[in-house]
Amino acid sequence: MKKLFLFTTTAILLSINSLNAQTILNGETNNIEEYNYLCWQIPKSINNSENEKLFISGKYSFETTPVNTNLLTDTYIKSPWLTNGIGNVKLTARLNGSGAKSRGVVFSYAFFDEASKNEDYTTDFNTFYEYSFTNMSNTNTTIISSALPMAIKNTNQPYKIRISFVGTDGEGTIVFDDVEISGRYSSDPSNKCLPAKTSEENDKEDDDKDKVANKYDLYPNDPIKAYNNYYPENSNGTIMFEDLWPSKGDYDFNDLVVGYRFNIVTDAENNIVEINYEITPKAIGAGFNNGFGFMLNKIEWDKIYAVEGLKTEAKWLNLNKNGTEADQKIATIIAFTSAADFLKGPGGSTGVNVDPKVAYVTPQTINFTVKFRDENGKAPNGFVSMKEFSVEDFNPFAIINQNRETEIHLPGYEPTAKADRKMFGQFDDNSSEGNYYKSKDNLPWALNIPAEIPYATEKTDFVKGYKYFAEWARTKGENYRDWYEENEKNRDNDALYIVK
Amino acid sequence: MIKQTFILEKNRLIKKNTILNHLIISVLFFGLWICTDINKFKENKKMKKPYLLVLVLIALIQTIFTSCKKLENAEPKTVITPTVTNFKQIKADPTFNWKSTKVIAVNIVAVNAEVNITNTLFVKTENGNILFTKLHKMNESYTGNITVPSKTDKVIISFGSIVKTVSINNGSALINFIKN
């Protein structure tokens, strides 16, 4: 019986508390603009008081400019849109200054009216309470309070409360603070401070009920997918390899050139649903027959539900059932095992798309999807959030001359578990734990550019094509950060393979 | 290494074509004066020589003084001659990561708890290309990383009708909906 009593009492108290929502305005941020962002309307006739002696509570209070008009629309504050108020409108105020014949505070309300021609979309304001200060020389604080009128009590219809400060004569101001208005905050700062949509209204604009409104949902009929996040954001990226690692090569960086772009598809909870990849072998400037893959750093192989759209085969390639490479703890995907399968060179040439005198071969793009979720949106081994995954976790590498143990990664990036670590430190390589694939003079074997750029022609040193690259590198990337962008200043097109 | 040759003409240097311009202007004025006052010359031959001398001197002094003033707004011209013609000559710091991108932390400050509004948040480049999208609750904070081209120093935040340009400082874009 006692338990039942306690439960009932607690439930009643909680329900009263939730019903009796208060929307509060105090001056504590000392920045009126912030309140306006939150859909209060505070005109320039209201300021934060600068006189500490007049503060009513906390560190700051509000103060009107001299109040010497009875116009309700001159010196006022208007609340954000509120709903379901059942209690009072209340504020604490005091007079300041001299010469006043009268000073007062007036409470009014208005409803939302979509057809209204005024900028607030309100009906006309109706006054429901007036308070007059009786002694103009009394500067003590006064609590001014009134119950909400019956017309707006407990209504779902959005309403605003206007508190006007009025008076005649003199330079006296009104200092006020601790404005409390009964009602649930129902404005939407992200929609021009119009009333927030109700859950029913939101549902009507969300066909797949994933909480993302149709107008923003790129998959409005798919409750699992919501957003696309492309990288690079507006074009393909370019990865270029020198393939003689661990020895230095000729630094034309065209032994294998791969274009790439991927789209991380996320749900309403910011979890990854899938990543769609476009990988394009663009040039082969080597005698070696190279492959290409990438690790998804931090993502363990069994977090991947399936790799779909890839048909990779090689003697050295073993795949898990989900399509990731076998015997790898970290998810590793082999995009192609032989670039030559996708770039068939014209006879007599040592490479493809590296010599401008030889016919251009149109590259084939390999499209595939790495799925993190099953058909029902479930992730058997847990969701992967965008908070824990980033573009930086894309760790591409070349597999050199069909030798699975020879990988070349971007400088600083870790090799996969398949790489032969005995090769580190051999010849020109100076890799160390956490600082892989750099030569003894800190030069790389691979470059990744977040844009589609032309690469150097065969046997042409890369720095001849990009005039500011060397200076960019010398300054640790501080100067000439746009070294790769297309303009005459940056590039020497005679040294670059330009597709016409 | 790139040899940078700065043609320093910012201070102390006399811009040759400016001198020429002033000389031409002075001579023109002098010629005009002669033409208009030729009759006076004829009448006052005794006065002609010293008068002429003074005028020539004034013209020369004006030319020299106006020509020799500092060229306040002159940009230093940079003539760049690549002297590194071979990749192997590049002197790279051991800590250099060879990346043309950088990672920035997107930190969104939560607003007042009573503002229970959810909307789609876009982080965009200044050109309007979308870098990142998520459904965001205004009264919740968020921190996540995005990768942008190294040259990026601002991003645009779009959250319904709220659009803000946010500077990237120390690798972080701090987003506060209620502050500029």
User: Quick one: tokens of A58?
Assistant: 């906390």
Chain A contacts in chain B segment 74-113 (CB below 8 A): 80, 82, 84-101, 103, 111-112
Task: Give the pLDDT confidence score for residue A29 in this predicted structure.
Answer: 83
Buried/exposed code over A126-154 (b: 16+ C-beta within 10 A; e: otherwise): eebbebebeebeeeebbebeeebbeebee
Pairing, β B162-169 against β A22-25: unpaired
The rounded distance, in Å, linking the Cα atoms of A496 and B153 is 29
Q: Which residue of A has its CA nearest to B159?
A: A190
DSSP calls for A238-286: EEEE--STTS---S---SEEEEEEEEEEE-TTSBEEEEEEEEEEEEE-S
In angstroms, the CA A136 to CA A94 distance is: 10
CB neighbours of A470 closer than 8 A, spacing ≥ 6? A463, B1, B2, B82, B84, B87, B89, B90
> Is B68 a residue whose pLDDT tops 50?
no
Q: Would the CB atoms of B100 and A449 count as touching at under 8 Å?
A: yes
- On the question of pLDDT at A466 being above 60, the answer is yes
Question: H-helix or E-strand containing A465?
Answer: helix A462-465
Q: What is the pLDDT of residues A405-434, one digit of tens each?
A: 999 999 999 999 999 999 999 999 999 988
> How many other C-beta atoms can be found within 10 angstroms of the C-beta atom of residue A161?
24
Cα–Cα distance, B159 to B118 (Å, whole number): 9
**Rounded to whole angstroms, how far apart are CA atoms A110 and A159?**
6
Residue B1 scores a pLDDT above 50: no
Query: What pLDDT shows up at residue B11?
Result: 32
Alpha-carbon torsion angle A463, A465, A469, A470, nearest 10:
20
- Name which of A343-352, A487-496, B8-17, B89-98 the model is least confident about: B8-17
Please check whether residue A404 is in contact with residue A327, taking contact to mean a CB–CB distance below 8 angstroms.
no
Name the pLDDT band for A50 (thresholds 50, 70, 90): confident
pLDDT at A30: 83
Q: Which residues of A touch B85 (CB under 8 A)?
A: 461, 463-464
- Residue A243: CB atoms within 10 A of its CB come to 23
| Interface contact flag, B125 A233, Cβ < 8 Å | yes
Q: Which SS3 state, helix, strand or coil, does residue A10 take?
A: helix
Which positions ≥6 away from B16 have C-beta within 8 Å?
Answer: none
According to DSSP, the residues that pair with B75 across neighbouring strands are: none
Whole-number Cα distances in Å, A282 to A231, A397, A457: 18, 15, 13
CA B72 to chain A, closest CA, distance in angstroms equals: 26
SS (H, E, C) chain B: CEEEEEECCCCCCCCHHHHHHHHHHHHHHHHHHHHHCHHHHHHCHHHHHHHHHHHHHHHHHHHHHHHCCCCCCCCCEEEEEECCCCHHHCCCCCCCCCCCEEEEEEEEECCCCCCCCEEEEEEECCCCCEEEEEEEECCCCEEEEEEEECCCCEEEEEECCEEEEEEEECCEEEEECCCC
Give the gap in angstroms from C-alpha B71 to the nearest C-alpha of chain A. Answer: 26
Comparing A188-197, A310-319, B76-85, B110-119, the range with the smallest average pLDDT is: B76-85
Which residue among A189, A248, A390 sits closest to B138, beta carbon to beta carbon?
A189
Nearest CA in chain A to B102: A392
- pLDDT greater than 60 at residue A313: yes
Is the pLDDT score of B39 beyond 90?
no
Residue of B84, B115, B147 lying closest to A391 (CB–CB): B147
Nearest by CB: A392 against B147, B159, B160:
B147
CA of B147: which chain A residue's CA is closest?
A: A391
CA atoms within 13 Å, Cβ hemisphere of A74: 13
Inter-axis angle of helices B16-36 and B45-67, to 10 degrees? 160
Is residue A453 within 8 Å of residue A482, measured between CB atoms?
A: no
Residue of B nearest to A238 (CA): B100
3-state secondary structure of A170: coil
The pLDDT of residue B114 is 86
- Spell out the long-range contacts of A495-498 with Cβ–Cβ below 8 A and sequence spacing 24 or more: A495/A456, A495/A457, A495/A460, A495/A461, A495/A464, A495/A465, A496/A454, A496/A455, A496/A456, A496/A457, A496/A460, A496/A465, A497/A254, A497/A283, A497/A353, A497/A354, A497/A356, A497/A454, A497/A455, A497/A456, A497/A457, A498/A356, A498/A454
A472 CB neighbour count, 10 Å cutoff: 23
Using an 8 Å CB-CB cutoff, list chain A residues near B101.
391, 450
pLDDT at B56 over 70: no
Residue A349: its H or E element: none
| Average pLDDT score over residue span A460-486 | 96
Where do the H-state alpha helices sit in A126-170? none
**What beta strand segments (E) does A73-123 contain?**
76-78, 82-83, 88-96, 102-111
State phi, psi for A153 to the nearest 5 degrees: -65, 125
Q: Judge: B98–A412 Cβ closer than 8 Å, yes or no.
A: yes
B143 reaches A (C-beta below 8 A): yes
Mean pLDDT along residues A197-211: 96
| The pair of three-digit structure tokens given for residue B1, joined into one six-digit string | 């290494």
Q: What pLDDT, on the 0 to 100 scale, is given for residue B83?
A: 74
B101: closest chain A residue by CA: A450
- Do B90 and A443 count as a contact with CB atoms less than 8 A apart? yes
Distance in angstroms (rounded) separating the CA atoms of residues A322 and A333: 10
Residue B36 confidence (pLDDT) above 70: no
Chain B residue with minimum CA distance to A230: B131
CB atoms within 10 A of CB A373: 21
Q: Give the mean pLDDT of chain A.
A: 93
Task: Write out the H or E segment, with its range, that includes residue A374.
Answer: none
Region A21-44: what's the mean pLDDT?
Answer: 91
Contact check, Cβ <8 Å, A464/B85 = yes
Out of A226, A229, A473, whose CB is closest to B135? Answer: A226
Q: Give the residue among A430, A256, A392 at the shortest CA–CA distance from A335.
A: A256
Residues of A in contact with B162 (CB under 8 A): 189-190
CA angle A301, A306, A311 (to 5 degrees): 105
Return the pLDDT at B5.
34
**Residue A333 pLDDT greater than 60, yes or no:** yes
pTM of the model as a whole? 0.83
CB A284 within 8 A of CB A339: yes
Q: Which pLDDT belongs to residue A303?
A: 97
Q: What is the pLDDT of residues A224-264, one digit of tens each?
A: 999 999 999 999 999 999 999 999 999 999 999 999 999 99
Cβ contacts of A233 on chain B, cutoff 8 Å: 125, 129-131
Q: How many helices (H) and strands (E) does chain A have?
A: 5, 25
In the stretch 9-68 of chain B, residues with CB closer than 8 A to chain A read none
Could you give the CA distance from residue A89 to residue B151 in angstroms, rounded to a whole number? 52
Which whole-number Å values give the CA distances from A145 to A91, A142, A152, A182, in the listed order? 7, 10, 16, 11
